[in-house]
Structure 1
Amino acid sequence: MYFDRCFGKKFPKALITLKCPFEVRSHDGEGFPDKMPDDEWLHIVGEKGWVVCSHDAKWQNEALARKAIEQHKIGCFYLHGASSIGFFKMKSLAHNYDKIKKVCDTEKRPFIYRVTAGNRLKKVL
């Protein structure tokens, strides 16, 4: 899973330390510039086949980002908790991991799902 810049540096590092059952990639870890446009890094991430996690729940409404998601057949999840502390972000991701994995394993890409505060996955694209 690729965690975009909205997650900062500490959250992906904590996931790596915990030895999660998935590969953890991040904006900072890949050395992408902070101001890199979404469509540019989505292009790179999409070519690698990575699933994208973000708090930035707007790509379906942005022409360039949506085009990159569709063109590169990217699976995206908007995770709840942008303003939460890391522990609660971790809790939400862990709680919803099996549902996220099932979507990744069974659904044809491209797709975007929102993970709600009530721990439901709602399809956006």
Structure 2
Amino acid sequence: MDKLTLYFDRNVGKRLPSALSKLRPPAEIRWHQGEGLPQDLPDDVWLERVAKRNWVVLTQDMRFHVNESEHQAVRQHGVRCFYLPGAQDGMWQTLCTFTRIHKKILKLSVSTPAPFIFAFSASGRYKRIL
């Protein structure tokens, strides 16, 4: 099996994925800004690009299942997506939360057929949204 690629949406920022990428994680780490994508690129456009590369989306934008264009892109292109908690948390807390949930993300990424969206809580609980 190929190594998973975790793609961090622009709303997560670049500090967390940049720091994670330097730690030799069990998955390749990519992020919106690191890929040189425009900040104003519509979500449905980059979701399609990411899905074609078979990357797993990590975002703090918890509306992909509500907004029609994003919802359709997730379904049509077979996006694998995880909603991360803590959009208002600082970098340290976000890192702590990610270390608590990353193994579940990796496992669900390979064991769940796409398309899907899972939402995580800071405690590590998750539920399937789509």
What TM-score results when the alignment is normalised by the length of structure 1? 0.96
Q: Please list every run of 5 or more consecutive structure 1 residues that lacks an aligned counterpart in the other structure.
A: none
Q: Give the deviation of 1:67 after TM superposition.
A: 1.0
Equivalent-residue separation in structure 2 for 1:57 and 1:103 (angstroms): 18
Paired-residue identity, %:
38
Matched position secondary structure for 1:29: helix
2:3 maps to none
Counting matched residue pairs gives 125
Equivalent-residue separation in structure 1 for 2:72 and 2:108 (angstroms): 21
**Counterpart amino acid of 1:12?**
P
2:68 maps to 63
**Counterpart amino acid of 1:83?**
Q
Runs (4 or more) in structure 1 with deviation over 6 Å come to none
Mapped pair 1:101 → 2:80:
no
**Counterpart amino acid of 1:104?**
S
1:2 maps to 7
Matched position secondary structure for 2:35: coil
Measured against aligned partners, the alpha-carbon deviations of 1:27-61 in whole angstroms (never above 9, x if no partner) come to: 00111100111001001101001000000000001
Task: Decide which of 72, 75, 86 is 2:77's aligned counterpart.
Answer: 72
Equivalent-residue separation in structure 1 for 2:112 and 2:104 (angstroms): 12
Measured against aligned partners, the alpha-carbon deviations of 1:72-118 in whole angstroms (never above 9, x if no partner) come to: 11110000111111121111111111211121121110000001122
Task: Decide which of 52, 56, 61 is 2:57's aligned counterpart.
Answer: 52
Q: Give the deviation of 1:21 after TM superposition.
A: 1.2
2:120 maps to 115
**RMSD of aligned residue pairs (Cα, Å):** 0.9
Q: Give the deviation of 1:5 after TM superposition.
A: 0.4
Q: Please list every run of 5 or more consecutive structure 2 residues that lacks an aligned counterpart in the other structure.
A: 1-5
Equivalent-residue separation in structure 2 for 1:104 and 1:12 (angstroms): 18
